[in-house]
Amino acid sequence: MQILSSTPPYPLIQYIVHLFRKSCSSRKNEGGTAFTSKVKIFDTTLRDGEQAPGIQLSPESKLIIARALSEVGVDVIEAGFPINSPSEKKAVEMIVKDLNSPEIAVLCRPIKEEIDFCHEILKKAERSRLHLWIATSSIHMKYKLNMSPAKVIDKTIQAIRYASGKFDTIQFSSEDSTRSDLDFLGNIMREATRAGADIVNLADTVGCALPEHMALLVREIRKSVGDKIPVGVHCHNDLNLATANTISSIRAGAKQVDVTVTGIGERAGNTSLEQLSIALLFHQKHFDVDTNIHTEKLGSVCDTVIDEMGLNIGMTQPLIGENAFRHESGIHVHGMLNNPMTYELVDPKILGLLGKRYILGKHTGKAAVKHFLEKKGCELPDMEIDRLTTLIKERSVGSGLLEDENDLVDFAIEKGFDLEPSRRTGNE
């Protein structure tokens, strides 16, 4: 407390990093490594993302998205749930034929005929992954599967044994892990790996978990399956915690995380690829975690998914919404003009986005007006800048914003300001 109330010895963010590293090293000393150096990104935009109500993708659209996912560097593309429809089967086949990388996964229930069906579709894939899943919570086993816990375990073991050798990787996921009995969950995960699963995955299917729950779950299941089997997580965003829960899972040792582009998915969606990637990048130094994502391609993969799915992205959607890198407030714009990092987490160019935008309205300050006039090679005396700023504020309430410096110059001329050519040469 004393450090925070007096002048910090170094900036606050470094202080937080320092505290974090301290807690991290003490945890390591207690035994066990809390962090992993590489985390695999399992993208399910084409499966969970497409399951979002109202989204229907043609096989051709799915292929366009799959190519964009390959370019952005995800490690696994979950291409679909092929038993669902002929169109879904065709989409997966087109993706398998077109892409040499990354690994292609398909969702599959623990049913012999379905495993054969998926095997036939994936056998030409460069690297194939069967994503077998079954629900493990009481509510799902009773009201959806109508199976006893013993039957669920038996079905899982039989299916994994049957699938073994037919795919490069077998991933086993427990649906509704976060509402499952922990002992039962540990037991089924252990049996799944003994039967031949290469990776196990924990789904927060209804998005009810808090970050500490996910961390606890990951640690417990890591103990159940042992160090050689990677544990993954699949988080939903119903409490707006999907990214936080995923990060917390990584800190607890998860080696694979599920994401979708823009966070699209069932109900409130999934962990967003772009948010997770930027969070890990921003905190890379103290997480000591890396992915294969090319962040400069995040903007374009988001555009592709938005276009192909016809999504309406909200104004305040993190990193990609209209306001994510747009500024109006006088204090913010003044700070940003002096140093762009004052009010932005990262430069939008890191995501391959065109750049920040300043607009002029009720909250605009004089520094912005002066700056944008200069950008157009114009200047005004200080008192005139004051008067123009006041007029911009008044105008915005009834008539809206000035979108850029061209609008600003037009407005100044319309109001009779005598714009002097700036002494500066050329426009920025």
* 159 half-sphere exposure, CB direction, 13 A CA radius: 28
Tell the smallest beta-carbon distance from residue 170 to Zn ion (Å): 19
Q: Toward Zn ion, which CB reaches closer, 48 or 198?
A: 48
Tell the smallest beta-carbon distance from residue 212 to Zn ion (Å): 21
Tell the smallest beta-carbon distance from residue 51 to Zn ion (Å): 8
Spatial separation of the C-alpha atoms in residues 26 and 359, rounded to whole Å: 48
Tell the smallest beta-carbon distance from residue 47 to Zn ion (Å): 8
The 10 Å Cβ neighbour count of residue 56 is 9
Residue (of 252, 401, 419, 233) closest to 328 by Cα position: 401
What are the E-state strand segments in 159-291?
A: 169-175, 199-204, 231-235, 256-259
Q: Toward Zn ion, which CB reaches closer, 235 or 280?
A: 235
Under the criterion CB under 5 A, does residue 114 sit at the interface with Zn ion? no
Under the criterion CB under 5 A, does residue 43 sit at the interface with Zn ion? no
Q: Using the rule CB under 5 A, give the single segment among 41-49, 97-105, 277-285, 375-383 that binds Zn ion.
A: 41-49
Residues in the chain: 428
| Size of residue set near Zn ion by CB under 5 A | 1
Q: Using the rule CB under 5 A, give the single segment among 45-53, 120-128, 170-178, 388-396 that binds Zn ion.
A: 45-53
Q: Toward Zn ion, which CB reaches closer, 132 or 353?
A: 132
Q: ∠ CA 243-267-279 to the nearest 5 degrees? A: 15
The 10 Å Cβ neighbour count of residue 67 is 16
Q: Toward Zn ion, which CB reaches closer, 48 or 75?
A: 48
Under the criterion CB under 5 A, does residue 274 sit at the interface with Zn ion? no
Tell the smallest beta-carbon distance from residue 267 to Zn ion (Å): 9
87 in Cβ contact with 97 (< 8 Å):
no
Under the criterion CB under 5 A, does residue 175 sit at the interface with Zn ion? no
- Binding residue for Zn ion, selected from 40, 41, 46, 48, defined by CB under 5 A: 48
Task: Please state, in angstroms and as integers, the Cα–Cα distance from residue 394 to each residue in 73, 282, 389, 403, 404, following that order.
Answer: 48, 39, 9, 15, 17
Tell the smallest beta-carbon distance from residue 138 to Zn ion (Å): 19
Spatial separation of the C-alpha atoms in residues 69 and 261, rounded to whole Å: 9
Tell the smallest beta-carbon distance from residue 52 to Zn ion (Å): 10
Q: Using the rule CB under 5 A, give the single segment among 43-51, 74-82, 100-108, 241-249 that binds Zn ion.
A: 43-51
Q: Give the list of residues 6+ apart from residue 100 with CB closer than 8 angstroms, or none.
A: 126
Amino acid making up residue 129? R
Q: How many helices (H) and strands (E) does the chain have?
A: 17, 12
Spatial separation of the C-alpha atoms in residues 321 and 52, rounded to whole Å: 19
Q: Using the rule CB under 5 A, give the single segment among 46-54, 278-286, 341-349, 415-423 that binds Zn ion.
A: 46-54
Under the criterion CB under 5 A, does residue 78 sit at the interface with Zn ion? no
Q: Using the rule CB under 5 A, give the single segment among 40-48, 138-146, 165-173, 364-372 that binds Zn ion.
A: 40-48
Q: Using the rule CB under 5 A, give the single segment among 47-55, 94-102, 322-330, 383-391 that binds Zn ion.
A: 47-55
Query: Could you give the 3-state DSSP secondary structure of residue 184?
Result: helix
Q: Give the list of residues 6+ apart from residue 16 with CB closer than 8 angstroms, or none.
A: none
Tell the smallest beta-carbon distance from residue 125 to Zn ion (Å): 22
Which residue's Cβ lies closest to Zn ion? 48
Interacting residues with Zn ion (CB under 5 A): 48
